[in-house]
Structure 1
């Protein structure tokens, strides 16, 4: 993979190429942005470029020994630090400091990539800060993170921050068609659902993911006709673990967003995310008040935040479905009592529910 093959992020790629051409490459970078938009890929490609034996015009050749070693993950001067358990620990940064004492073994630069640097424990972050304050020559350090605010300001001030943007829907759709042979109509739907993330789009290639989404949206689309006992049974069946439930809540947010968009006067100029459910979105949107849709969106976000705690997932899902049912049928009942008390954590739980 070379700079020329990276999807999107043209502005950042051009900036890096200019820095390489002018030989003014900073000693450390921070790449920020959502998952699946090319932060790690760009970091690995930059590591290849600075050590490429035959590259020209600010890119790598992908043919020399150095490029082949980097592509296979066997280059001795390119190291990646990932979290050990839930955190990046100080022992990992201390090991990095030991490596930085020596010159690169084969390449021009020793490149260290710290993925998801927001997971560094405070003592690890402070240890890294000392490295950045006195960067050894012939070393390049690249941090990736979701948000710049998740890192120590003192670390941020010693690195060049490059914010990565979500990929364009057209770029994702084209990639799905060309790389995976997806039909254009289906690729367009998947690209909208990916929300700018290529990794999310790749996950949707698994039909089980699309089937799970379709099952969930069918439930919420017909929730006004559902009996309470059916909703409780659906919550029991819905209860998932880890990534599945996290993604399910994202599907629910896209549904609420589409209902809100459908109510806008400019709805014709704003595309729906769930294009394959356009008719059902149109039919369901009139059953909800705009403030109720915003209220439910906020509640879903709160449940997502509370997922980091040991909450009762089934009760939380029951609360969500009951609130949707209450608003869709314009009933007076208040389902907030179903929200589990142990989910309070640092959040205001439950969120204020309007009438």
Structure 2
């Protein structure tokens, strides 16, 4: 089936999950795509990439081309994650999805698509759908409008409400090794394996790693984080606050293009969409920006985690391959001035920052505290 896919389509790029790719391509080509899918697999297995790939295939205007043409306006917008008829949801609370999120989703489901022939709803971390929010979704999942497809993403059906699982077609994703992911990125970009390995560690999946390597802004955010950690040994309070501010600026830089594209879409549609539909589009744009910001923050934290992991490997003379070959000098400097205990405590500080951000602590404040904690940890005897 993969031989018949347009090479630039998102489905064709799911080469790390060939069974999933071919299964979804056949379903779309035969017109038998399910109204609700549940993608199950470990973090980094490519579930979100597959969700966007399926969305592109479902919304493609060229129905004669299996798995999306990758060239029509709908395909391009989905690939850029700016299509107004693909709605991405993630939990907005540390304890899960909010009732308001579910209410917003159900209200939007009742509206007609804005540009395409159908709408797609991607619900990330679906295991965080609490009983009250899940129950509100059940009837819609069971009998959605004909033009709507739901794609839920989760780690395991065991931690999800059985009533949700029973209403979806489950699609398992096999876990990927670091070597498999690195090879896939190297094949897609033609870049050296060492650089691709770093990108996978930062971005979390092969498809996101490819995007990372194509984005000068996202790579600049990673460099800003590395500089901030490298400078901690001699940084005072003002230096750390300045580093955190610089880092947040670097994380926000990639959002400028997204905002510009969203504004263009609003201007194109404002003459013929109702006020309610425009409000839904504006809300969707806001969610997309929040998701992009969160993704950038997680990449920054993954950057410091992989850097500290390399320091730990250096201190322990472990056999694992380092991830940050391009900043070996930074790894050596940090390793020469700390201990295994110090690095372990520093890694704990990164995990704590993730938890705080998930609980809606202001990202810049969480990063400031994390940098102070890492500085203190690395000085631990």
- What is the aligned partner in structure 2 of residue 90 from structure 1? 103
User: Does structure 1 conserve the Cα–Cα contact (< 8 Å) formed by 2:194 and 2:323?
Assistant: no
Pick from 305, 317, 322 the counterpart of residue 355 of structure 2.
Answer: 305
User: Does structure 2 conserve the Cα–Cα contact (< 8 Å) formed by 1:169 and 1:196?
Assistant: no
Structural mapping, 1:52-201, within 5 Å: 53-55=63-65, 59-60=66-67, 62=69, 68=72, 70-71=74-75, 79-83=85-89, 88-90=101-103, 92-94=105-107, 96=109, 112-117=119-124, 118=126, 125-134=134-143, 141-145=149-153, 147=155, 152-164=161-173, 168-177=181-190, 189-201=198-210
- What is the aligned partner in structure 2 of residue 41 from structure 1? 52
C-alpha distance in structure 1 between counterparts of 2:332 and 2:316, whole Å? 12
User: Does structure 2 conserve the Cα–Cα contact (< 8 Å) formed by 1:235 and 1:317?
Assistant: no
Q: Secondary structure at the match of 1:168?
A: helix
Give the superposition deviation at 1:276. 0.8
- Residue by residue, what CA displacement relative to the aligned partner does 1:218-263 show, whole Å, maximum 9, x if unpaired? 4433544x1xxx3312221122445555443222111111122234
Change (3 A) 1:132 1:24: same
User: Does structure 2 conserve the Cα–Cα contact (< 8 Å) formed by 1:115 and 1:144?
Assistant: yes
- Residue by residue, what CA displacement relative to the aligned partner does 1:143-167 show, whole Å, maximum 9, x if unpaired? 2435457864421232122244567
C-alpha distance in structure 1 between counterparts of 2:76 and 2:120, whole Å? 16
Pick from 235, 240, 256 the counterpart of residue 235 of structure 1.
Answer: 240
Change (3 A) 1:203 1:17: closer
Over aligned residues, Cα RMSD in angstroms? Answer: 4.4
C-alpha distance in structure 2 between counterparts of 1:22 and 1:209, whole Å? 38
Change (3 A) 1:217 1:91: closer
User: Does structure 2 conserve the Cα–Cα contact (< 8 Å) formed by 1:231 and 1:322?
Assistant: no
Q: Secondary structure at the match of 1:115?
A: strand
Between structures 1 and 2, the one with greater helix share: 2
Larger Rg: 1
Pick from 300, 303, 307 the counterpart of residue 251 of structure 1.
Answer: 303
**Length-normalised TM-score, structure 2:** 0.61
1:261 lines up with 2:351 in the alignment: no
Q: Which runs of 5+ in 2 are unaligned?
A: 1-8, 79-83, 93-99, 249-292
C-alpha distance in structure 2 between counterparts of 1:61 and 1:311, whole Å? 40
Give the superposition deviation at 1:32. 4.9
User: Does structure 2 conserve the Cα–Cα contact (< 8 Å) formed by 1:258 and 1:274?
Assistant: yes
C-alpha distance in structure 2 between counterparts of 1:206 and 1:27, whole Å? 34
- What is the aligned partner in structure 2 of residue 30 from structure 1? 38
C-alpha distance in structure 1 between counterparts of 2:349 and 2:304, whole Å? 11
Give the superposition deviation at 1:129. 0.7
C-alpha distance in structure 2 between counterparts of 1:223 and 1:70, whole Å? 46
Give the superposition deviation at 1:29. 0.7
Q: Secondary structure at the match of 1:90?
A: helix
Give the superposition deviation at 1:266. 4.0
1:271 lines up with 2:321 in the alignment: yes
Moved more, 148-157 or 231-240: 148-157
- Residue by residue, what CA displacement relative to the aligned partner does 1:293-333 show, whole Å, maximum 9, x if unpaired? 233212211122212456476665454344434443445xx
Give the superposition deviation at 1:38. 1.4
Change (3 A) 1:52 1:155: farther
Change (3 A) 1:144 1:39: farther
